[in-house]
Structure 1
Amino acid sequence: MQEIMEHPNAVADAVLEQIKGVVGAKGYTIDPDEIAPLCQSWRDNWQGWVPMVVKPANVAEVAAVVAICADSGTPIVPQGGNTGLTGGSQPHDSGAEIIISTTRMNKVREIDTVNNTMTVEAGCILAGLQDAAAAADRLFPLSLAAEGTCQIGGNLSTNAGGTQVLRYGNARNLVLGLEVVLPDGRIWDGLRGLRKDNTGYDLKQLFIGAEGTLGIITAAVLKLFPKPTEVQTALVAVPEPAASLTLLDRATEAVGEQVTAF
C-alpha cells in the first residue's frame, strides 16, 4: 500500500472538488484501498493509478463530469466491470487521469415484449440482463465467461462476441439504440427501438467497439428473442482441424441458423 500511496495526484484539486459537487458523497471514492483494484490488470502485468474514481448515478452526472474534465484537460478512463484482460480499462500510473465507472447506472428501464427489446443502463451486469429477459419469457443471447461480473456498457464498447455469435452475431448486432456522452459532455440521444431505420448514417455503430474513445455509452436498447423451446448439444470428435469446418458446413446446411455455437 505504501507504494500505491506514493503515486502523485496530477489532477488539480479544483477539478476534483468540482466533480465532488456534481456526484455527491456516494458518487466518488478517493480511498486507495478501493481505487487500487480498479487500476490493476487481471494479468498482474500493469498497475496504474488515479486520484479519484467517479461513480455517476445517471447520464446527467456523467455529462457534467465529462464536461469538467474536457474544460480542464483531464484525461478520462471509462470503466465498466473491469473484466478485460488486455488492460484497456486500466489507467496509466501518472495520477493524471480519473476513472469514470458506470457501476451505479444499473437499471433495466423497460422490457417491451411486443417489440422484443430491453432498454438498459450501461452498468447492468450481463447475467442480470439474461435473467431479466428470461423472466419476461425472452432470450438475450449475449453470453461469455465473465457474464457474472461484466457490464453491458463494456460489452458494447468492446463489441463482445461470446458463445452464440453464429446465430445471433456480435454485440453490435444486438443493439437498436444507444445513449452516449460525447467527449465534450454533450449527450447523444439515439436511444430508440426502431427496427426498420433507413435514415442516413447508423451513428450508434461508431461507438460500439470503440472502447470509449469516442464517448461513454450510458444506456442501450437491446434486441430480445423468443426463448428456444429445446437446446441440444453434441460432442463430435474429428480427425483434424479441417474436418471441423466440413462438419460446421454440413450442420448449417441441415438446420440453418439453428446452429447457435460450434
Structure 2
Amino acid sequence: MPNLDLTFFAVAIPAVIFAGVSKGGFGSGVAFASSSILALILEPGQALALMLPILMVIDLATLGPFWRRWSWPDARLLLSGGVPGVALGAWLYQATDADLLRLLIGGISIAFVVWHLSQSRGWLHGFSKRLPPWAGLFAGVVTGFTSFVSHAGGPPAAVYLLSQRLTKTEFQATTVLTFWVINIAKFVPYAFLGMFSVQTMWADLLLAPFAVLGAWLGVRAHWMMSERMFFGAAYILLSLTGSKLIWDALS
C-alpha cells in the first residue's frame, strides 16, 4: 500500500505532470519514466497500478485535441498486435517478482536512451524505407506486452511509427489513439490480478488534476516547445532512474 505522505506526493506529483506532458505532446515515448520514478519509492506493482488510471485520464484529456488527426492504417496495425500483447503480458505477469519488474523497467529505460544516443551520434541510422505491415503487427505485440508489464509501450510503437514518415501531429495523434485503447484493455486484467487497492485509487483521485495539468501543458508544448530540450532532460532522467532500479534489482 502506498503511504500517502509528503514524500509520496513530492515524488508523485512531478512524475504525473511529466507523464501528462510526454503523452500530451511528445508521443508517449518517455511517459514510462513516471513509472520508473514511482518505483523508486513504491513496489513496482504498486507503481504500475497507481499509474494506469492516471494514464487513462491523460488519454481522455489528449484525445480531443488530436481527434482524427491520426494515421488510421498504422494505428490499426499497432492495435491488432497490441491487444494480444496485453493478454500475453497479463499471462506472464503472475510469473514475475518485484526485482524482475525493477530490472525490466530499468533495462527498458537504459535501452531506450542508448538507442536514441546511437541515432543522434550517427552509429545507427534512421529507416531508409517504411517498415512493412507485418512489422507494425509485431511492434503492436511488443507494445502491448511492454505496456502491460511496465507502461513502456511507447518506445516499440515509436520505432515503427518513425519509419512511416508521419508528420509530428500524425505521429502524436496515432500514439494517443493507440494507447487510449491499450490502456483500456489493460484495466480489466490489472483489476483481476488484484493490483488496485482503495489507497491507490485515493492517490489517483488526488493526482488526477496534476495529470490533466500535464496533459494541457503537453498539448501546448506540442505546438510551441523545442523537442530537443524536453527529450534531453527526459533521457537524463531515464538514465538515472533506470540505473537506480537495475541496482536495486541486482542488489
Bin for the TM-score computed over the shorter chain:
under 0.3
- Greater RCO between the two (CA within 8 Å, min separation 6)? 2
Flag the structure with higher strand content.
Answer: 1
Larger radius of gyration: 1
TM-score (norm 2): 0.27
TM-score (norm 1): 0.26
